[in-house]
Amino acid sequence: MSTHSHPEQVTAIVLAAGSGRRMKSARAKVLHEIAGRSMIEHALVAVAEAGVRTTVAVVGHDRDQVSAAIAAHDPSVVLAVQEQQNGTGHAVHVALESLDTPPEGTVVVTYGDVPLLSSQTLSELLVDHRAAARIVTILTAEVGDPTGYGRIVRDRDGAVTAIREHRDADDVERSIREINSGILVVDAEFLRHAVASLETDNAQGELYLTDIVGRAVAEGRPVGAHVLEDVWQTEGVNDRVQLARIGRELNRRITTHWMTEGVTIVDPDTTWIDSAVTLAADVTILPGTQLLGATVVAAGATIGPDTTLCNVEVGERATIVRTHGSDAVVGADATVGPFAYLRPGAELGEGGKIGTFVEVKNSQIAAGAKVPHLSYVGDATIGEGTNIGAGTIFANYDGVNKNRTTVGRHARTASNNTFVAPVDIGDGAHTGAGTTVRHDVPPGALAVGTSGQRNIEGWVADRRPGSTSDRAAREAQSAPTAERTEH
């Protein structure tokens, strides 16, 4: 989504001091995630993309957790601590007091638990506020069941006269379906004076930010509402049921967006895509796929089914099937899976292959190189065009240190090899089946590490007498020579 700019200075206040008791979690409510971001991060991204210059986040409960998360996301956000939660008006007062200089221009107030609120909506709200030359503009919506929400009270001409909280509303006011989202835009100078004069004359004994609307009306200042048709954007999250519900809706929006951008998503209901994922046109996503973190998928690639990728870069026309991967790179025209495990630092070159039941960690597999099946590749460099045989283990750990193995270009290693790192296998070298490679292999050489085979005659009869194996062996030994030869 593009960033929107505004000529006047805009300050955002994000309220995130609530206790979130209904989440029943050791983690702060606003730190619970949907689509790869915590709810507070969704709020901060929305205000930043709407052209806000200064952002203040008000923290209270679980302040250490929340403050650390905000600082990690954006160190420029000003943190204001609300020691006692005495209402939204008090929270805004604390925010204003935290600034070195009073804000000028416009202030937008939003919340840390409304993750679907978009930067586009905030930008439109700011544009509407400025165009109408209002002192206060409230983001509102009409809902089927307004229970629990503050109601927008209008006069006969439709002008906004007040916001009445549900507990303080009479029966007539409670029948109003237009609700206050809690998100509003206010002239900065008016906000400073209005918040300073708030009183606790209400059912909850708190300082309501919404009371500034009544003051503006009483002073004859222009007040209005920006009605939002997309009610989802106003919904807050208070428990895990709501978190899941909002998460599903956000995922629906994300998958819909990418389908309109030319991505084929075979089953959107079983496909989950995080907010920061980037997909090119003609990508195909098969059922049961999760694309997480900052995953990037280039044009023509096919992902899935039953695949989870987190922070993975996928090249053009690559195919990844039934794979779990994180912090890895898959080159163009490469194939991965099924049942592969890409750990951090795994890099597969153009046209390369990581096959069935292969685990790769901190290793670079060059263009055209293949690790087809049943192998562990840890801390290795595999050269262009090399083929690693089935059942190969790169023994990278000596009990103290992790060591690297290097396999050169166009080498051919046989099945059931073990490479005891550190070791180098030269360009064009080969290895025999079952070989344990403990020393460097020169280019073009064949490394064979197996001893000669020795058969111990009669071992089963001696050690396993009477067993099914013993009986089968005796039957075979007693059969005529011609019959044994045929078998």
- For residues 359 and 343, what is the distance between their CA atoms, to the nearest angstrom? 7
The tokens of 47 are what? 């205000």
**SS3 labels along the chain:** CCCCCCCCCEEEEEEECCCCHHHCCCCCHHHCEECCEEHHHHHHHHHHHCCCCEEEEEEECEHHHHHHHHHHHCCCCEEEECCCCCCHHHHHHHHHHHCCCCCCCEEEEEECCCCCCCHHHHHHHHHHHHHCCCCEEEEEEECCCCCCCCEEEECCCCCEEEEECHHHCCHHHHCCCEEEEEEEEEEHHHHHHHHHCCCCCCCCCCCCCCHHHHHHHHCCCCEEEEECCCHHHHCCCCCHHHHHHHHHHHHHHHHHHHHHCCCEECCHHHCEECCCCEECCCCEECCCCEEECCCEECCCCEECCCCEEECCEECCCCEECCEEEECCEECCCCEECCCEEECCCCEECCCCEEEEEEEEECCEECCCCEEEEEEEEECEEECCCCEECCCCEEECECCCCECCEEECCCCEECCCCEEECCEEECCCCEECCCCEECCCECCCCEECCCCCCCCCCCHHHHHCCCCHHHHHHHHHHHCCHHHHHHC
- For residues 440 and 417, what is the distance between their CA atoms, to the nearest angstrom? 14
- For residues 231 and 444, what is the distance between their CA atoms, to the nearest angstrom? 69
Rg of the chain taking only CA atoms, in angstroms: 33
- For residues 273 and 197, what is the distance between their CA atoms, to the nearest angstrom? 46
Query: What Å distances lie between residue 312 and 102, 239, 282, 303, 328, CA to CA?
Result: 44, 31, 18, 12, 5
Residue in this structure with the two tokens 């008006």, named with its chain if needed: 89
- For residues 269 and 144, what is the distance between their CA atoms, to the nearest angstrom? 26
User: So which residues are the catalytic ones?
Assistant: 373
**Cβ–Cβ < 8 Å for 209, 195:** yes
Q: What length does the chain have?
A: 487
